[in-house]
Homo-oligomer: A and B are copies of this chain.
Amino acid sequence: MHLNDLVNHGSEWLKGTGPHSDIVLSSRIRLARNLDKIAFPHWANKKQNKDVLDAVEEAVSKIDLLKKTTVFRLADLDNVDKQFLIERHLMSYEHAQKSDSKAVVIDEEEIVSIMINEEDHMRTQVMQSGFNLFEAWNIISAIDDFLAKELPFAFLPDWGYLTACPTNTGTGMRGSVMLHLPALVMVNQVNQVLAAISKLQFTTRGLYGEGTQASGNLFQVSNQVSLGHSETDIIENINGLIRQIIEQENQARETLVSRNRAMLEDKINRSFGILKSAYIISSQETIELLSMLRLGCDLGIIKDLDRRQVNELFIVIQPAHLQKIENNKLTAQERDIKRAEIIRKKLVKQ
């Protein structure tokens, strides 16, 4: 698989199906693993990093659970390529900062990605569409079991898996759910919900990863604690919280539909109208309008539009994607024009 093959490819996690996919965009599990007796990547020397890269690459190549995996060595990628992978949620911003002895392994359906020599020797993630953490866990667990036979993971019976940052020690697991909460935002209850989440030792961030502001009413909720509980307990814990938020969002949607239907129809249809007609549009404005479009699909206010298309637009309108599609470097101004063109083409067909 060539990196450019992904440009016109729809990721599994964006397909807009799965449980509660009206409110939950996607579910993600990641595991942090390190090889025994080798310094963590930031402390390792060049040779050690290279050895880890080779060992993990070899082990990964043996997994037959995954359809057609490809290893992308970061040294072979330019900045747009790297940004493109970050935008697709296939690797982290931190991973892209240096290229030496770093790689990311991706399967054809973009369900799995394995970062080699990020903060830990290995960061494996599995993404699923909708509210589906256990399905993601089943997949990642099978991969992890396989790799555990191939690679000597750093593990202490009392501590669990050892990791570069102590907050990941134990299970090395983080479960994240990407929620779309436009109604809670509109009825001004979202801050209350987010405050409650942080008290329960969960964190929230935006669609575009750690440190990013929530935009487009998208909130990613993750566990903070990975130590002292089993993986399934942690997932159950996240699931319980997410079920409550889904319930609150559903109630807020019902309130809006029954009390403010005209306002909703106006806001949603205007968003659709602007997206179909703009010739210059920023990513920030696009994301806010797409959020309304997605809500419109969920509420049946917008018909004949597939939720998958809306999900994919959230990803496709980002800078590196635009440049990959255009196969050229673009200035910010050129991107705003290209973005509008792509959105019109995708939506006006409807």
Instruction: Tell me the A residues contacting B by CB distance below 8 Å.
Output: 262-263, 265-266, 269-270, 272-274, 276-281, 337, 340
Contacts and interface: CB of A to CB of B under 8 A. Distances in A.
Contact of A263 (B273, B274, B276, B280): B280
Nearest to A340: B266
A88 to B, nearest CB: 28
11 contacts: A262-B279, A262-B337, A265-B279, A266-B278, A266-B340, A270-B277, A270-B279, A273-B273, A273-B274, A273-B277, A274-B277
Contacts of A337: 262
Contact of A269 (B263, B270, B278): B278
Contacts of A270: 274, 277-279
Nearest to A277: B273
Contacts of A274: 270, 273-274, 277
Given A262-B279, A265-B279, 5 more contacts: A263-B280, A266-B281, A270-B274, A270-B277, A273-B273
A273 B273 CA distance: 5
Contacts of A262: 279-280, 337
A62 B284 CA distance: 66
Contacts of A272: 277
A277 B292 CA distance: 13
